[in-house]
Amino acid sequence: MRSLLWKNKDLITALSSWAELRHDTILYVKQSYTRAVAIGESAAPMEAKYYGYVEPNPELFARAKFITEFLIKGLEEQDCMTEEVKNSLEQSKDMMERLQKISEKELEGKSLSEEDYNYIENIDSTFNKIIEDLASALTVKEGGCSGPNCEVKTSLEGKDDAFKTTIIADVHTETNTKKALEVGTGKIDWIIVAHKSKDGRIGLAVGPMFSYYEFPWPMKDRLTDEKWRKLISGEIEGMPERPDWIVDFIS
């Protein structure tokens, strides 16, 4: 965790999270203007049971828990809380607390319990439940008529998009060159980390991490998520390269 590679990994995660935030707040944030580790593309699932590993960063999990608790309190005070949102946030808070305790054990050199390993193994289903509850909080009702023959269709808005990591946002416009600075995230990368396993030997843990992109793009053709995903999939040409400082250590 003290190596340059790990610091770069943390930087990619931070920038990718920032790109997601700018994407989600693009209608509310004023854009700035200028006057005039070994990472692979895919990984096969392991057949044998493997004891997972949590990044030993208890401070991160503690802060995430505090922010979640603060958000719950704020939404309740403003009478903006719904049952679905509260369930999602409560699960998020509990998950951060559990991961904090697990990472503290790892740093202290203590053995994890079988319950800890089972929790890590099923973390994907925990994440999915949190995201589904949050996405389900926003519904769109089609109809508007009243009476016994009126049919109202309710659909989940953005539920599918909630599981997509491929997003793009323009965060700056350079009017001299007629270019916009686009930042976004692409397909998930895989990171391989060596760690002390349950039996005391050095094991290799494989997990997902964000991929980050940052590049200029013609301001007359600002990218949408839909077009960005077509660039990523190869449906249309012109996929930009990753920043130089990232290319140096990915494979």
Q: Which of 22-36, 110-124, 157-171, 236-250 has the lowest mean pLDDT?
A: 22-36
In three-state form (DSSP H/G/I as H, E/B as E, the rest C), the secondary structure along 82-148 is: CHHHHHHHHHHHHHHHHHHHHHHHHHHCCCCCHHHHHHHHCHHHHHHHHHHHHHCCCEEEECCCCCC
148: pLDDT confidence band, cut at 50, 70 and 90? Answer: very low
Position of tokens 């390993």?
117
Q: What percent of the chain stands above pLDDT 90?
A: 35
> What is the dihedral angle through the alpha carbons of 137, 69, 183, 33, rounded to the nearest 10 degrees?
100
Q: Which of residues 205 and 47 earns the better pLDDT score?
A: 205
Rg (C-alpha) for the chain, rounded Å, is 21
What b-and-e string marks burial along 52-78, b requiring 16 or more CB atoms within 10 Å of the CB? bbbbbbbebbbebbeebbeebeeeeee
Partners of residue 32 on adjacent β-strands: 172
Reduced to 3 states (helix: H, G, I; strand: E, B; else coil), residue 225 is helix
Predicted confidence at residue 188, as pLDDT, reads: 87
Q: Is 96 exposed, middle or buried (0-12, 13-18, 19+ CB in 10 A)?
A: buried
Q: What percent of the chain stands above pLDDT 70?
A: 75
Residue extents of the structural domains in the chain: 4-47+163-247
Long-range contacts of 99-106 (CB under 8 A, 24+ apart): 99/54, 99/61, 100/58, 100/61, 100/62, 100/65, 102/54, 103/54, 103/55, 103/56, 103/57, 103/58, 103/61, 104/56, 104/58, 106/53, 106/54, 106/56
d(CA 138, CA 84) in angstroms, rounded, equals: 9
What b-and-e string marks burial along 12-46, b requiring 16 or more CB atoms within 10 Å of the CB? beebbeebbebbeeeeeeeeeeeeebebeeeeeee
32: pLDDT confidence band, cut at 50, 70 and 90? Answer: very low
64: pLDDT confidence band, cut at 50, 70 and 90? Answer: very high
Q: What is the pTM of this model?
A: 0.67
